[in-house]
Structure 1
Amino acid sequence: MLEELQLFQDPHYDESIVREEIRSYYPFVKAFGNNDEIEIAIYQQDALLLMNEAAISIEGTLRKNANGTGIVEFTNNAGAFLFDSISYELNGKELDKVRNPGIVSSVKGFLCYEKDDTSLSIGGWNYPQGGLVTYDPIKSTFYLRIPLWHLFGLFHDYKRIVFGKQTLRLIRARSDNNCFKVSNDDTVGELTITNIELKVKHVFLNDVVKLNLLTQINSDKPLLIPYRQWELHELPALTSGGTTKEIWSVKTCTNVESPRYIIVAFQTNKRDQMMQDATLFDNIEISNIRLTLNSEYYPYEDMKLDFSSRKYHEAYYMYTQFSKQFSSSTNKPILDYDDFNNRALFVIDCSKRNDSIKHSTVDVKLEIESMKAFPQNTKAYCIIIHDRVMEYLALSGVVRSAL
C-alpha cells in the first residue's frame, strides 16, 4: 500500500542505540618529533565503535624564527601533511595504509568535497580560504580534529560498527615544511606537536539488539568489510633535458587489485619547500595521458590538451565526472575551470573492463606527453583506487582477505 494511504500506521522510533559516548585514547609514548612512530591501541574487545566517526586530535604550536621579517601561515590540509604514513590494524591485521596522506587526502578533497562545506575546517581542510581556523598567531597555538574518513579510504566507505583490538599507527613526517608557508627567505617556521589523541565514538545497544548481535558473533559468522583503497605511487622525477614524453610502468598487480580509477598529478619544486603550497598541482603543459592495462587503453582517444590556450576541457570534464561515478554524489566540483589550471588532476575511469582484463595479472602503465619539455625536479603522483574486501571472524579474531 502507498505511504500516502497509511493513515492508521503507528509511528516507529529507532531505539536500537540507547547511548553514545566519545572517549579518548592516547599513544603509549608521547614522542611527537619528526620521524617518530606514534601508536594508539584500543584493547576493549567488547566495545562497539564507530571508527568512521573517529578523529585524530592534535595540539601544538607554530612559531617563526626570531630574526624573520615575514609571516608564517598554515597551508590548506596542513594536518594531513604532519605524517609520512598512517595505517589501521584490526586484530593485528593491517586493513588500510596510506603513504603521504597529505597528498592523497588533498587529491581526495579536490575530487569529492564541496566549496561551502565547513565541517572539515577544524581538521585543517579549508579550501579556498586556506589557513587553519583554530590557529592563534598571537599565542602561536593550534588545534586539529582530523576525521579518519578524511585520511583512510576504508572509513570513507565502511560506516558500520567495529569491535576487537584496533591499532592506529602514525609515522611523523621527516619535515613539517609542507604544513605551512613563509612569505620571504629570512623567515623559518618552527612547528611543535604537544599532544595527540584518538577520539572514538562508543555505541551502546538496547538488550534485544545486543543479544541478537552476540548470538551472531558467537556463531563465528564472517563479517565482510568492503571498501576502496587509495594506493599512492610516486615517480621521483620526470625525465628532464628536452624530453616531452615519459612512459611510466607504475606496477604489476593481480586481478584483485586491478584499478577502478587512476588519478595522475604533478608537482614541480613543491615538496618540503616552505615558500610553496604543497596542495598545488602543476599542469606542466600536459597534452595527453594514456593508461594501459595490459592491452586496453584509457581513454580511447587522445585528450589533445593545450593548457597555454585554455584548452583543457576534456581533462576538466573527466575530473567533474569522478564524484558522480565514485559515490553517486550530486556535489558540485570544488574546482572551477580556472582553479583546475593550478590544481590539475587527471582522472581516468577504468572501472568498466572486459573479462580478459579482470581475470589476469594486470600491468599498469602510463604514457605522459607534454607540449613542452618536462621541467626539472617534477614529481609525478599516481593514485590507484581499487576494491578490497576483508573478512572478519569476530569470535576467533581472524581477519583475512575475502577476494
Structure 2
Amino acid sequence: MLEELQLFQDPHYDESIVREEIRSYYPFVKAFGNNDEIEIAIYQQDALLLMNEAAISIEGTLRKNANGTGIVEFTSLSLNNAGAFLFDSISYELNGKELDKVRNPGIVSSVKGFLCYEKDDTSLSIGGWNYPQGGLVTYDPIKSTFYLRIPLWHLFGLFHDYKRIVFGKQTLRLIRARSDNNCFKVSNDDTVGELTITNIELKVKHVFLNDVVKLNLLTQINSDKPLLIPYRQWELHELPALTSGGTTKEIWSVKTCTNVESPRYIIVAFQTNKRDQMMQDATLFDNIEISNIRLTLNSEYYPYEDMKLDFSSRKYHEAYYMYTQFSKQFSSSTNKPILDYDDFNNRALFVIDCSKRNDSIKHSTVDVKLEIESMKAFPQNTKAYCIIIHDRVMEYLALSGVVRSAL
C-alpha cells in the first residue's frame, strides 16, 4: 500500500541505541618528535565503537626560531590540510591484522579532498582542511598554539566506506613525519618554523544498545558468523623523479598486482620542488605541461583516445571533465567539484576510470603501467604520484578473533 494511504499506521521510533559516549584513548609513550612511532590501542573487547566517527586530537605549538627575521605563516592559503602532513604513514589494525595503511597521508588526503569534498564545507576546518580560505582556524598567533581534530575518514579509505560498529582489539599506529616543513610556510630562507606536538589523543564514539538488540547481536557473535568489511583502499606509489634533461616522455611501471588488487581508479599528480620546502605549498600539484597520460592494464588502454592536452593554451578540458566525473562515479555524489577550471591549472589531478574491465583483465595478474607525455621537457626535481584505488574485503570472525582477506 502507498505511504500516502497509511493513515492508521503507528509511529515508529528507532531506540536500538540507548546511549552514545565519546571517550579518549592515549598513546603508550608520549613521544611526538619527528620520526617517532605513536601507538594508540583499544583493548576493550566488548566495546561497540563507531570508528568511522573517531578522530585524532592534536595539540601543539608553532614558533619562529630565535634567529629568524621573517614571518611564519600558519594561517595562509598555502597551508590547507596541514594536520595530515604531520605524519609519514598511518595504519589501523584489528586484532593484530592490518586493515588499512596510508603512506604520505598528507598527499593522499589532499588528493581525496580535491576529488570528493565540496567547496566552503566548514565541517573539516578544525581538522586542518579549509579550502579555499586556507589556514588553520584554531591557530592562536599570540600564544603560538594550535589544535586539530582530524576524523579518521579523512585519512583512511576504510572509514570513508565502512560505517558500521567495530569491536575487538584495535590499534592506531602513527609515524611522525621526518620533517614538518610541509605544515607551514615562511616568508624567507632565513626563517625556520619550530613545530612541537604536545599531546595526541584518539577520540572514539562508544555505542550502547538496548537489551533486545544487544542480545541478538551477541547471539550472532557467539555463532562465529563472519562479518564482512568491504572498502576501497587508496594505495600511493611515488616516482622520486621524472627523467629530466630534455625528455618529454616517461614510461612508469607502477606495480604488478593480483586480480584482487586490480585498480578501479588511478589518480596521477606531479610536484616540482614542493616536498619539504618551507617556502612552497605541499598541496599544489603542477601540470608540468602534460599532453597525455595513458594507463595500461596488461593489454587494455585507458582512456581509449589520447587526451591532447595543452595547458599553456588552456586546453585541458578533457582532463578537467574526467576530474569532475570522479565524485559522481566513486560515491554517487551530487557535490559540485571543489576545483573550478582555473584552480585545476594549479592543482592538476589526472583521473583515469578503469572500473569497467573485461573478464580477461579481472582474472589475471595485472601489470599497471603509465605512459606520461609532456609538451616540454620534464622539469628537474619533479616527483610523480600515482594513487591506485582498489576494492578490498576483509572477513572478521568475532568469536575466534580471526581477521583475514575474503577475496
After alignment, is 227-236 or 69-78 more displaced? 69-78
1:74–1:130: 8 Å Cα contact kept in structure 2? no
After alignment, is 276-285 or 74-83 more displaced? 74-83
CA offset digits 1:45-88 (Å, max 9, x no partner): 00000000000000000001233232212371000000000000
Computed over aligned residues only, the root mean square deviation of the Cα atoms, in angstroms, reads 0.6
Distance 2:20 2:124 in 1: 22
Instruction: State the shift of 1:186 in Å.
Output: 1.5
Question: What is the DSSP-based 3-state SS (H/G/I as helix, E as strand, rest coil) of the residue aligned with 1:33?
Answer: coil
CA offset digits 1:328-366 (Å, max 9, x no partner): 000000000000000000000000000000000000000
CA offset digits 1:264-296 (Å, max 9, x no partner): 000000000000000000000000000000000
CA offset digits 1:5-61 (Å, max 9, x no partner): 111111100000000000000000000000000000000000000000000000000
Residue 374 of structure 2 aligns with which residue? 370
2:24–2:203: 8 Å Cα contact kept in structure 1? yes
Distance 1:72 1:310 in 2: 34
Distance 2:122 2:374 in 1: 37
Counterpart pick for 1:167 among 168, 171, 196? 171
Instruction: State the shift of 1:187 in Å.
Output: 1.3
Distance 1:334 1:69 in 2: 36
1:264–1:346: 8 Å Cα contact kept in structure 2? yes
Instruction: State the shift of 1:116 in Å.
Output: 1.7
1:121–1:133: 8 Å Cα contact kept in structure 2? yes
CA offset digits 1:182-202 (Å, max 9, x no partner): 111221110000000000000
1:64–1:72: 8 Å Cα contact kept in structure 2? yes
Question: What is the DSSP-based 3-state SS (H/G/I as helix, E as strand, rest coil) of the residue aligned with 2:189?
Answer: coil
Distance 2:18 2:353 in 1: 43
Distance 1:346 1:255 in 2: 23
CA offset digits 1:76-101 (Å, max 9, x no partner): 10000000000000000000000000
Question: What is the DSSP-based 3-state SS (H/G/I as helix, E as strand, rest coil) of the residue aligned with 1:120?
Answer: helix
Distance 1:266 1:7 in 2: 60
Question: What is the DSSP-based 3-state SS (H/G/I as helix, E as strand, rest coil) of the residue aligned with 1:263?
Answer: strand
Question: What is the DSSP-based 3-state SS (H/G/I as helix, E as strand, rest coil) of the residue aligned with 1:97?
Answer: strand
Distance 2:64 2:130 in 1: 22
Question: What is the DSSP-based 3-state SS (H/G/I as helix, E as strand, rest coil) of the residue aligned with 1:119?
Answer: helix
Residue 127 of structure 1 aligns with which residue? 131
Distance 1:132 1:69 in 2: 22
Instruction: State the shift of 1:159 in Å.
Output: 0.1
Residue 146 of structure 1 aligns with which residue? 150
Percent identity of equivalent pairs: 100
Find out whether 1:252 has 2:249 as its counterpart.
no
Give 5+ residue unaligned stretches, structure 1: none
Distance 1:66 1:172 in 2: 24
1:58–1:145: 8 Å Cα contact kept in structure 2? yes
1:265–1:344: 8 Å Cα contact kept in structure 2? yes
Distance 2:350 2:31 in 1: 38
Distance 1:42 1:186 in 2: 44
Distance 1:196 1:32 in 2: 8
Question: What is the DSSP-based 3-state SS (H/G/I as helix, E as strand, rest coil) of the residue aligned with 1:230?
Answer: strand
Give 5+ residue unaligned stretches, structure 2: none
Residue 104 of structure 1 aligns with which residue? 108
CA offset digits 1:283-337 (Å, max 9, x no partner): 0000000000000000000000000000000000000000000000000000000
CA offset digits 1:373-402 (Å, max 9, x no partner): 000000000000000000000000000000
Question: What is the DSSP-based 3-state SS (H/G/I as helix, E as strand, rest coil) of the residue aligned with 1:348?
Answer: strand
Distance 1:71 1:210 in 2: 56
Distance 1:73 1:100 in 2: 23
Question: What is the DSSP-based 3-state SS (H/G/I as helix, E as strand, rest coil) of the residue aligned with 2:100?
Answer: strand
- TM-score, normalised on structure 2? 0.99
- How many residue pairs match? The answer is 403
Distance 1:40 1:185 in 2: 37
Question: What is the DSSP-based 3-state SS (H/G/I as helix, E as strand, rest coil) of the residue aligned with 2:69?
Answer: coil
Distance 1:93 1:73 in 2: 40
Question: What is the DSSP-based 3-state SS (H/G/I as helix, E as strand, rest coil) of the residue aligned with 1:326?
Answer: helix
Instruction: State the shift of 1:215 in Å.
Output: 0.1
Residue 63 of structure 1 aligns with which residue? 63
Residue 122 of structure 2 aligns with which residue? 118
CA offset digits 1:102-157 (Å, max 9, x no partner): 00000000000001210000000000111100000110000000000000000000
Distance 1:207 1:110 in 2: 43
Q: 1:220-235 counterparts in 2 under 5 A? A: 220-235=224-239
2:287–2:348: 8 Å Cα contact kept in structure 1? yes
Instruction: State the shift of 1:233 in Å.
Output: 0.1
CA offset digits 1:146-180 (Å, max 9, x no partner): 00000000000000000000000000000000001
Question: What is the DSSP-based 3-state SS (H/G/I as helix, E as strand, rest coil) of the residue aligned with 2:263?
Answer: coil
2:120–2:132: 8 Å Cα contact kept in structure 1? no
Question: What is the DSSP-based 3-state SS (H/G/I as helix, E as strand, rest coil) of the residue aligned with 1:364?
Answer: strand
